[in-house]
Amino acid sequence: MRLLDALQYPLPIGGIVSILHRASGVMMAVLLPLIIWLFDTSVTSEISFDRFASAFTAGIGFVPGILVKLVVLGLIWAYLHHAMAGVRHLWMDATHQVTKEFGRSSAIATAVASIGLTVVLGAKLFGLY
């Protein structure tokens, strides 16, 4: 089968959650220095804490604050999706719940919960409440 033929088949929701599990993991591994920088500046001192806080408004170096917020929003989603998809795997490992129906319904639950929580936390990040 050529790749072009394979693309004719729609990816089931379980497949989408699976590839996003991988993508979110790679994203967090690549952005690890940013995560540690945020941890570093937020806990080291009051002065560094101000730098941490202003990263979301004034930005970091030449990177504008809005871009920092968007990247952090991406990280929030990546963490939530990765963790929830991981719990789904652990659940399947522990209970041997490997039916087609459970695969589909748990994948939908994972996607909905991670996106929903991202919206809630994202609204906080962007100061909507």
Binding-residue total with other proteins (CB under 8 A): 21
Measure the CA–CA gap between 26 and 107, rounded to whole angstroms: 20
Among the candidate windows 40-48, 63-71, 101-109, 112-120, which touches other proteins by CB under 8 A? 40-48
From 12, 31, 22, 10, select the one nearest 73 (Cα to Cα). Answer: 31
3-class DSSP state of 5: helix
Please state the separation of Cα 12 from the chain's center in Å. 20
Using CB under 8 A, pick the residue from 39, 67, 99, 123 that binds other proteins. 39
Whichever of 15 and 64 has its CB closer to other proteins, that residue is: 15
Decide: is 98 part of the binding site for other proteins (CB under 8 A). no
Measure the CA–CA gap between 38 and 78, rounded to whole angstroms: 16
Give ∠ CA 29-118-35 in degrees, rounded to 5.
30
Whichever of 43 and 66 has its CB closer to other proteins, that residue is: 43
Residues 21 and 82: beta-carbon distance below 8 Å: yes
Decide: is 40 part of the binding site for other proteins (CB under 8 A). yes
CB of 30 to other proteins, least distance (A): 9
Decide: is 75 part of the binding site for other proteins (CB under 8 A). no
Among the candidate windows 31-39, 60-68, 108-116, 120-128, which touches other proteins by CB under 8 A? 31-39
Using CB under 8 A, pick the residue from 11, 63, 66, 90 that binds other proteins. 90
